[in-house]
Structure 1
Amino acid sequence: MKKILTATALLLASTSLAAAEGELQLYNWGNYTSPELLKKFEEETGIKVTVTDYDSNTAALAKVEAGGAGFDLVVPSANYIQIWVEKGLIVELDESKLTHKANIAPEWVDVPWDMGRKFSVPWQWGSVGVAVNTSVYKGDINTSDIFLRVPDELKGKINVVPEMTDVLNMAIFNVGGEACTEDTEVLKKVRDLVVEAKKDWLSMDYGATEKLSNNDWAASVNWNGSSMRARMANPDVAFGYPKEGYPLFMDSVALLSDAKNVDNAYKFIDFIMLPENAAMISAFARYANGIAGSAEFMPDDMKTAPEVVAPAEHAKAGRFLPTCGQKSQEYLTAIWTELQK
C-alpha cells in the first residue's frame, strides 16, 4: 500500500508540475497589458499568462510584502525599484537567460534606479500631467494650478488620480520645492495647498481613460498614454505638461523572489525585449518603451502624438522622481493620509 501511495503521490506531483510549467502570474498596473501580446506569447510558448491588476505602487508593494500572493513578475515604477530590492522582494536577473537584453536602448541601461539593469527590464515610460476637456476650459492647461488652484470652470469637475508620490511631488514643484524634500516649510505649503484644493475636486479615482472619454470628468491629473487614449475617443481632451515641473516615470518588469514559475518568467522577460513585441505593449497602452528598434513597429499616430512626444518648450520641466528618503516618505504619507479623510 505504501508503494501505491508513493506512486500516486509522485503522479499527482508530476501532473501539478506539468500544469505549473504552462503558467505565469503577472502582477501589473490595470489596463496596461496588451491582450494581443499575451495571445502571441501563449501561441509561441504554450504558457498561459494570468494578469492581476493593481492601481498604485504602494498597493502592489503592500500586497507582495504581505506574502503568499503567488505572483511571478511585478512592474514597479522607477522610484520604487530600490525599495523592492532593499526589502528582498525581487531578485537579480540571470543574464544568461536573457538573450535579448542587448535590445534595451542605451539610455535606459545605466539608470539611477537600476544601474546596468541588474533587477529589471523596461516595460513603458511616460509623464504625469493634467488632461483637460478643452470644450469646458479654454485657458492654459500646462500648469499644475489646474488641480491645485482649480479654475472656476473646472470646480467640481476635476479628478485627481490617487498616486501619492506623483500628486504630492507635483504640488512640491508648484510651490518651488525639490522632489522628495524634507523641508518642513515647503511641506507645510504643500499640505495647505492640497487640502484647500481638494474642496474643488470631484473625486480621487482611477479610470481616467474612460471617464475623460465619456465626459464624466472635465479634467484629471493623469498619465500621458491614458490621456492619448482618451483623446482618441474624445477629441476635446488635451494633455498638459505643467510648467512648474512634472514627474517622468518608467515602469519595469522584475522577477519576484518567491516566484514559482521562474523559467516561464524569464521567457516572458526575454520575449518583451524583442522590438516588435515591445511595440505591441506601447500600441495598446500608448506609452513609449525602452527597447531599441521598436519605433518602426509602432502605430503611426504615436510617432507624432503630443502626449508621447512632449513639445520642446515643455519637455525640460519633466523629471524622474528619486526614491524618497524615510523622513520625506513619512511627511508625504502624513499629508496623503490627511488628504484621504
Structure 2
Amino acid sequence: MKTLALASAALLISSFAAHAEGELNLYNWGNYTSPEMIEKFTAETGIKVTITDYDSNTTALAKVEAGGSGFDLVVPSANYVPIFVQKGLLAELDHSRLSNIGNIDPKWVDVPWDKGRMHTIPWLWGSTGIAVNKSVYSGDVNTSEIFLDPPAELVGKINVVPEMSDVMALAIFNAGGEACTEDLTILKKVRDRLKAAKPSWLSMDYGTTDKLSSGDYAASVNWNGSTMRARINNPDIVYGYPREGYPLFMDSVGILSDAKNVDEAYKFLDFIMIPENAAMLSSFARYANGISGSEPFMPEDMKTAPEIVVPAELVSAGRFLPTCPQPATELYTAIWTDLVK
C-alpha cells in the first residue's frame, strides 16, 4: 500500500509539473496588458506568460512577417488584421475550442476587419486624439492643429506617437481628405504640414503615459486610455477629440500561424472572454472592451470619464480606419519614412 501511495504521489507531482510547464508568448502593445489578469491566468492554469512589447502596428507586422519570432499571440489594430490574414500570419480560429466566444458583444462579431471573428477576438478599443496639459495651454484642445500648427505655448513640448495609421489619418482628416485617400493634392498638403510641424515637436515616442503625468510632455497625439491614466496621476491633463476627424480603433488578439503553444493560446483567448477578466484589461489600460457582461466589473470612474464619454457634438468625427489598398499604403509609407528619418 505504501508503494502504491508513493507511486500515486509521484504521478500527481509529475502531472502538476507538466501542467506548470505550460508557456505562452504574447506580443502586444507596450503597457497594455493587465499584470493582475496575467497573474490570475497563471494561477488558474499554471501557464507562464511572457509578454514582449511593440510600439506600432508596422513594428509588429515586420517582426512577425520576418518569421521565427517565437510568439504565439499578437494584438493588431482593426485595419491591420486583414493584412496579417492576407499574409497568412494568423491561424483560423476553431470556435469549438472557445467556450466563451458567445460573450463577445454582438456589435463586435461581424466587424469589417474580421467577419464572424474567424481569426481574432476583441482586446480593447478606443480613440486617438490629443492630450494636453491645461496648465501649459488653456486653449481649444478639440483640434489636430495642436500638433500640426502648435500654439506658441506648446512648441518644443509636444510628443507624437509613432503609429503611422493614426498620425496620417489625423493629418488627412485635417486636410479635408478621407481615410485611404490617394488624392495627391491632399497628400502633398499632409506631407508638407507634417514636415513643417516636426521641428516644433519634442519627440515621437510611444511611452506617453508617464511623461504626460510628470509634465515632461505638455501635449501629445495620444490614445484615450493612456490619456486617462495620465490624468488620474495629473488632473491638469485633458483629452481632445479633433473636430476635423479622429481615428477609432479596436485591437484584436489572434493566434499566429507558426505558434508553438497553441493549446495554451486557446486557453488564454477563452480566459479573456470571461467578463470579469475582460474588465481587468479595461481597468488596467483604461479602454473599453468588447465583452458583454463586463460592465458590472468595470471601474466606476470609467463610466463618466471624459476620455471615454465623447461629447455629443464630436461623436460623428470619430471613424474606424479601413485597411488601405496597396497604392495608398505605399504613398503613406513614403511620407512617413521621410518624416521619421
* TM-score tier (shorter): over 0.9
Which residue matches 2:57? 57
Which consecutive unaligned segments of at least 5 residues does structure 1 have?
Answer: 1-13
Partner of 1:5: none
1:83-162 mapped onto 2 (5 Å cutoff): 83-162=83-162
Within 1, Cα distance between the matches of 2:79 and 2:66? 20
Shift of residue 179, structure 1, vs aligned partner: 0.4
Quote the Cα distance in structure 2 between the aligned partners of 1:175 and 1:54: 29
What SS does the aligned partner of 2:126 have?
Answer: strand
**1:125 partner amino acid:** W
CA distance in 2, matches of 1:40, 1:228: 25
What is the match of residue 39 of structure 1? 39
State the Cα distance separating 1:313 from its structure 2 match.
1.5
Counterpart of 1:249, as a letter, is F
Report how many residues are paired. 327
Letter of the 1:46 counterpart:
G
Paired residues for 1:292-311 under 5 Å? 292-311=292-311
Aligned-residue offset at 1:18: 4.2
2: CA distance between counterparts of 1:164 and 1:264? 32
Contact 2:24 2:72 in 1 (8 A): yes
AA partner of residue 194 (structure 2):
V
Secondary structure of the corresponding residue to residue 324 of structure 1: coil
* C-alpha contact (below 8 Å) 2:19/2:45 kept by paired residues: no
Extract unaligned runs of 5+ from structure 2: 1-13
Does structure 2 conserve the Cα–Cα contact (< 8 Å) formed by 1:157 and 1:202?
Answer: yes
- Shift in Å at residue 315 of structure 1? 1.4
State whether residues 76 and 251 of structure 2, in contact with CA within 8 Å, keep that contact through their aligned partners in structure 1.
yes
1:26 corresponds to which letter in structure 2?
Answer: L
| Residue 196 of structure 1, CA deviation | 0.5
- The one-character-per-residue Cα deviations of 1:154-189 (angstroms, maximum 9, x if unpaired) are 111111111111001110000100001111111001
Q: How big is the alpha-carbon RMSD for the aligned residues of Structure 1 and Structure 2?
A: 1.4
Q: Deviation of residue 312 (structure 1)? A: 1.2
1:75 is aligned to 75
Query: What secondary structure sits across from 1:52 in the alignment?
Result: strand
Query: Quick one: distance in 2 between partners of 1:180 and 1:166?
Result: 12
Is the Cα–Cα contact under 8 Å of residues 224 and 307 in structure 1 kept in the other structure? yes
Residues 1-341 of structure 1 aligned to structure 2 (within 5 Å): 18=18, 22-341=22-341
Deviations 1:112-150 (A, max 9, x none): 000111100000000000000001111100000000011
TM-score, with normalisation over the residues of structure 2?
A: 0.94
Specify the code of the residue in structure 1 equivalent to 2:63.
K
Distance 2:271 2:203 in 1: 38
Residue 206 of structure 2 aligns with an amino acid whose one-letter code is: Y
Query: What amino acid is aligned across from residue 29 of structure 2 in structure 1?
Result: W
Q: Does the CA-based 8 Å contact 1:212-1:218 persist in structure 2? A: yes
Q: What is the CA–CA distance in structure 2 between the aligned matches of 1:321 and 1:144, rounded to whole Å?
A: 17
Deviations 1:80-100 (A, max 9, x none): 000000000001100000000
CA distance in 2, matches of 1:37, 1:301: 20
Whole-Å separation in 2 of the counterparts to 1:156 and 1:83: 36
CA deviation vs aligned residue, 1:19-77 (integer Å, no higher than 9, x gap): 89511111100000000000100111111111111111000111111111101000000
Q: Matched residues in 1 for 2:76 and 2:22: separation? A: 24
Give, in angstroms, the shift of residue 314 of structure 1. 1.4
Give the residue type in structure 1 aligned to 2:66. A
TM normalised by structure 1 equals: 0.94
CA distance in 1, matches of 2:18, 2:329: 44
Contact 2:20 2:46 in 1 (8 A): no
Write the distance in 1 (CA, Å) between the matches of 2:221 and 2:29. Answer: 17
Tell me, in whole angstroms, the C-alpha distance in 1 between the residues paired with 2:257 and 2:100.
22
Give 4+ residue runs of structure 1 displaced > 4 Å after superposition: 17-21
Instruction: Tell me the secondary structure at the aligned position of residue 117 of structure 2.
Output: coil
Verify the 8 A CA contact 1:20 1:261 in the aligned structure 2. Answer: no
The share of aligned pairs that are identical, in percent, is: 72
CA distance in 2, matches of 1:330, 1:20: 46
Which amino acid letter does the alignment assign opposite residue 109 of structure 2? V
2:202 and 2:164 map into 1 onto residues whose CA distance is 17
Q: Distance in 2 between matches of 1:258 and 1:207?
A: 29
* 2:79–2:322 CA contact under 8 A, matched in 1: yes
